[in-house]
Structure 1
């Protein structure tokens, strides 16, 4: 399963926009500088009281469909 490590920094307000459906996708940057877009629904698994801030591993199916997100470190 392909994966990519990304830095995600979103405030509580930005996360709320994603949660409420005002934003469908999240734009992040990988550790190697690539732009990565993934579904905002993935944030529901990782959002905290203050938003999201850290390095996460996104995993995809071989066909490119988002499958999982795991926190690597802050």
Structure 2
């Protein structure tokens, strides 16, 4: 299984743009330096009252399809 580690700091207001469908893709830099793009929708399970802040592991299956996200810090 493939994975990418990203640190995200997205304010509540910025995530609201994702939630309302105004923005559909998140672009972030992984801890290994790669630039990654992923659907904002996958973050809905990790958003809190203050937005999204922390380090996350994003997992992909053997077909490179999203398999899960978890907060690791």
User: TM-score normalised by the shorter chain: which range applies?
Assistant: over 0.9
Shift of 1:4: 0.9
Q: Any runs of at least 4 consecutive aligned residues in structure 1 with deviations exceeding 2 A, and if so which?
A: none
SS of match in other structure, 1:5: strand
In 2, the alpha carbon distance for the partners of 1:66 and 1:38 equals 9
When the two structures are superposed, what TM-score results if normalisation uses the length of structure 2?
Answer: 0.93
Q: Cα deviation per residue 1:4-53 (whole Å; 9 max; x = unaligned)? A: 11111101111101111111111111111111111111111000001011
Aligned-residue CA RMSD in angstroms? 0.8
Q: Secondary structure at the match of 2:72?
A: strand
Instruction: Measure the CA separation in 2 of the matches of 1:9 and 1:29.
Output: 12
SS across alignment from 1:23: coil
Long gaps (5+) in structure 2: none
* TM-score normalised by structure 1 residue count: 0.92
Q: C-alpha distance in 2, partners of 1:14/1:66? A: 22
Q: Residue 42 of structure 1: SS of its match in structure 2? A: helix
Partner of 1:35: 35
